[in-house]
Chains A and B, each alone.
Chain A
Amino acid sequence: MRPFTYTASTNKEAALRAFTTTSHYLGGGTNLVDLMKEDVARPDQLIDVNNLEYNEIVKNDKGGFTLGALLSNAATANNKDVRQNYPLLSMAMLSAATAQIRNMATNGGNLLQRTRCPYFFETSMPCNKRAPGSGCGALKGMNATHAIFGYSQKCIATNPSDMCVALAAIGATVEVQKQDGSSRMIDFNDFHRLPEDQPEKDNTLNQGELITAIHLNEPAFSDHYYYLKIRERSSYAFALISVAAGMQIKNGTISKIGLAMGGVAHKPWKLTEAEAFLTGKSASQANFEEAAMIAMKAAKPFEANKYKVDMGEKAIVRALTQAYERKY
């Protein structure tokens, strides 16, 4: 690991002021410290923000709840208000990593975790995300776990977060503090970006901006929800494919739906067309199947990840069925 100076900030002003172009904020460290050991992340200053007071869950003016950015993933998933109002979010968060990692990981850090593309981790390999202009090793290499939607010739990586898939389904706004002391709100769907010509940029944050809160939309999916995660083993692995499904159902008709997929794109992949198709329709197997077809229509897989199209379609049907039928 390269040398760096360590500063623990006790207030946001100090943290923002200390930030330089070669700094990183430190949350739980579960992604950043790992990447520093791999020599992928090379900050010369770490600004520990864990002592800042953004660690509460409170009601917000959208009729929903707001998650402090520095609260741990474990504390968030197990918060009573979150479990009861957003069980979909709890379920997705609890599917991620392990108890130890969830105790460490912060909500802000989770939004910014980087791809698990093996070329990104291996510094002897080309990777546009790690070293812009060096090429994409995965494009013609090992890409069984890579994207089937929205990629570019510059990068075909996926976003690995489970939490973010649920957030895309539920709807949220991310609040960030700018270095000049003002704040701004980013709609969650605009928070992560597609790789296009700048795969080194995972999201739309500007340098030095500090995430302080995630404002969740009004809860709507506490009766019908399911987070389906398909992986190579049944626990402690990243998703090959995941589906977050939430529905509001009145007399058998879907009055509101949130549907998003993980493991398929550079950002949490909101299934907008499938959502539109299902809204106002009956919660039937036939409709679920048609929605799944609509959702996967635009998929452009590579040879090695063709399985994701079929798996994805079936996963959508299964997640919707579970959300509809499960009694919890």
Chain B
Amino acid sequence: MPKSIFMKKSDKSQQVNTPDELTADENIILDAMGLSASSRRKFLRQVSTGSLGIYASSFFSSEVFAQTVQDLPEQAQILLNEIKVNLRVNNMVKPLAIDSRMSLLDALRERLALTGTKKGCDHGQCGACTVIIDGKRKLSCLTLAATCEGKEITTVEGLAKNGEMHDMQKAFVKHDGFQCGYCTPGQICSSVALLEEAKNGEASYVTEDLKNIKSGLKLSEEEIRERMSGNICRCGAYNNIVQAFKEVHSGDDVMPTWEFATAEQMKKAKNA
């Protein structure tokens, strides 16, 4: 039986666990919390959202987004070297007045409340701030917001469509492609852009034959690792990230490489 309340191997489409999929322990805890039926489902949905951050999309575009924007401090009255820029993010246009020094990363997080995009190093060394600009993955920490007029920016919040997660988001959940989740929005944006790079037949340093490249590349594991090296994961979730990418890239329903131990296996292990 699954040991975790929130993640299940059977949990293919990120549907929230139904009560009968929970262990006795889990049911007892939720009962004790006074959660039953619909309130329980709502709770479970929220905890998985909270723990992942990559679900933010389902909230975003709704009242929650409007709420967080209202909570932001009033726009500063005096800006040094003020620049007016229309930031086009996830198909919404936001006119902003910013200090010329503001990075795209800070504009997203501090001015648009799009906190899915993370600040790791702020110096181009970790990839946590990766977003997709005009179809290309780029680092928002080294991009000045002032340079983004007229550009189409997609952040992790903009990957879901019609309330349904992007296949890459689903695959990250299914394969447990994270631990703390901090690098995850960057990993996912990077992976989504990499799908296109492979389709377009773009090469990497480990591509053997640079002279004859066809579009629709099938990337080996070595290729995936080289091409994803710009996204550092402090938790070392790399193996699962590669699995997640592989599944979406190949279109095969790749099974996760891990499984929960069965009760019987646990017993065996204890007695060993």
A-B interaction: yes
Q: Which of B124, B190, B203, B230 contacts A78 (CB 8 A)?
A: B203
**Cα separation A33 to B141 with both chains bound (whole Å):** 9
Query: With an 8 A cutoff between CB atoms, is B81 at the interface?
Result: yes
**Cα separation A6 to B98 with both chains bound (whole Å):** 11
Known contacts A34-B123, A99-B194; is A50 also within 8 Å of B147 by CB?
A: yes
Query: With an 8 A cutoff between CB atoms, is B161 at the interface?
Result: no
Interchain CB contact under 8 A, B100 and A3? yes
**Interface size class of chain B, counting residues whose CB lies under 8 Å from the partner chain:** 35 or more
Interchain CB contact under 8 A, A99 and B211? no
Within 8 A of A (CB), among B188-211: 190, 193-194, 197, 202-205, 207-211
Q: Which of B136, B209, B210 contacts A103 (CB 8 A)?
A: B136
From A33, A97, A234, residue with most partner B Cβ within 10 Å = A33
**Interface size class of chain A, counting residues whose CB lies under 8 Å from the partner chain:** 35 or more
**Cα separation A229 to B206 with both chains bound (whole Å):** 12
Residues of B within 8 A of A46 (CB): 100, 144
Residues of A within 8 A of B229 (CB): 98, 235-236
Residues of A within 8 A of B138 (CB): 100, 103-104
Known contacts A37-B122, A99-B227; is A91 also within 8 Å of B142 by CB?
A: no
Residues of B within 8 A of A222 (CB): 211
Known contacts A98-B229, A328-B210; is A3 also within 8 Å of B81 by CB?
A: yes
Interchain CB contact under 8 A, A98 and B230? yes
Q: Which of A34, A74, A83, A104 contacts B211 (CB 8 A)?
A: A83
Residues of B within 8 A of A103 (CB): 136-138
Residues of A within 8 A of B99 (CB): 3
B139 to chain A, nearest CB (A): 5
Q: Mark B133-174, 1 if CB is under 8 A from A, else 0.
A: 000111100111011010000000000000000000000000
**Cα separation A97 to B142 with both chains bound (whole Å):** 14
Interchain CB contact under 8 A, A100 and B127? yes
Q: Which of B83, B149, B204, B225 contacts A94 (CB 8 A)?
A: B204
Known contacts A3-B81, A46-B100; is A100 also within 8 Å of B203 by CB?
A: no
Residues of B within 8 A of A50 (CB): 147
**Cα separation A196 to B150 with both chains bound (whole Å):** 45
Query: With an 8 A cutoff between CB atoms, is A84 at the interface?
Result: yes
Interchain CB contact under 8 A, A87 and B124? no
Interchain CB contact under 8 A, A328 and B211? yes
Q: Which of A87, A100, A229 contacts B190 (CB 8 A)?
A: A100
Interchain CB contact under 8 A, B190 and A5? no
Residues of B within 8 A of A1 (CB): 101
Query: With an 8 A cutoff between CB atoms, is A307 at the interface?
Result: no
Determine chain B's interface SS by DSSP, over half rule: loop
Within 8 A of B (CB), among A1-54: 1, 3-6, 8, 26, 28-30, 33-34, 37-38, 46, 48, 50
**Cα separation A29 to B226 with both chains bound (whole Å):** 23
Known contacts A30-B142, A87-B210; is A4 also within 8 Å of B197 by CB?
A: no
Query: With an 8 A cutoff between CB atoms, is A77 at the interface?
Result: yes
Interchain CB contact under 8 A, A29 and B147? yes
Query: With an 8 A cutoff between CB atoms, is A95 at the interface?
Result: yes
**Cα separation A4 to B146 with both chains bound (whole Å):** 12
**Cα separation A218 to B272 with both chains bound (whole Å):** 70
Query: With an 8 A cutoff between CB atoms, is B243 at the interface?
Result: no
Q: Which of A3, A28, A100, A328 contacts B230 (CB 8 A)?
A: A100
Residues of A within 8 A of B127 (CB): 98, 100
Query: With an 8 A cutoff between CB atoms, is B235 at the interface?
Result: no
Interchain CB contact under 8 A, A328 and B100? no
Residues of A within 8 A of B80 (CB): 3
Interchain CB contact under 8 A, B100 and A84? no
Query: With an 8 A cutoff between CB atoms, is A66 at the interface?
Result: no
Residues of B within 8 A of A95 (CB): 205
Residue contacts A-B, CB under 8 angstroms, 9 given: A3-B101, A6-B146, A33-B144, A34-B123, A37-B122, A99-B193, A101-B230, A222-B211, A236-B232
Contact surface of A with B, Cβ cutoff 8 Å: 1, 3-6, 8, 26, 28-30, 33-34, 37-38, 46, 48, 50, 72, 74, 77-78, 83-84, 87, 90-91, 94-95, 97-101, 103-104, 222, 229, 234-236, 328
4 tightest Cβ-Cβ pairs between the two chains A and B: A98-B230, A235-B229, A6-B100, A328-B209
Interface contacts beyond A3-B99, A83-B213: sample of 13 additional A-B pairs, CB < 8 Å, sorted by A: A30-B124, A34-B142, A48-B146, A78-B203, A91-B205, A94-B207, A98-B127, A98-B229, A99-B193, A99-B204, A104-B142, A104-B143, A328-B209
